[in-house]
Amino acid sequence: MPEDLLCGIEKTLRLLRTLDTLQAGRSFTEAHMDYTWGKDFFENLVYDIALGNLNLARCWWQQVEASPALHASHHDEFWRTWALRIQSLGEPLMDDDRAALAAILHRWERENVAGTEAEAFWMPSPFPLEETA
């Protein structure tokens, strides 16, 4: 039994070590997630901004802007926050303002880790967006 646990831990650690870049994480989730209803262009928008693919992100932005989900009146705090976050990307994306986009993404990271057990260990690192500037 302890050997099985140790084997499982070692296997998991090997897998986690391969997820050392944003692109590796994206590829892993795309290969293992159930996209029964299709990929979400909101997700693609954020990934492509973070990866520095701003021309492609601007294409996704066209779909985002046309989406009723973004412009609906959200009564739930989660969805209101989500819509405001997505909308905050528009102006810096259209202005090709990489620094502003990176600042937004880093703020989201901090907000998402705040109050979790991971907060004590989390350290921000540059997005490819910042490295390709």
The CA-atom distances, in angstroms, between 56 and each of 62, 87, 127, 132 are 10, 17, 16, 15
Structure tokens at 120: 């004590």
Neighbours of 22 (CB within 10 A): 16
State pLDDT tens for residues 87-107. Answer: 999 999 999 999 999 999 999
Task: Output the six-digit token pair for 74.
Answer: 């959200």
- The predicted-structure confidence for 39-62, as pLDDT tens digits, reads as follows 677 888 999 999 999 999 999 999
* pTM for the predicted model, two decimal places: 0.79
The structural domains of the chain, with segments of one domain joined by +, span 1-33, 37-131
| 22 vs 114, more confident | 114
Work out the average pLDDT over 78-86.
85
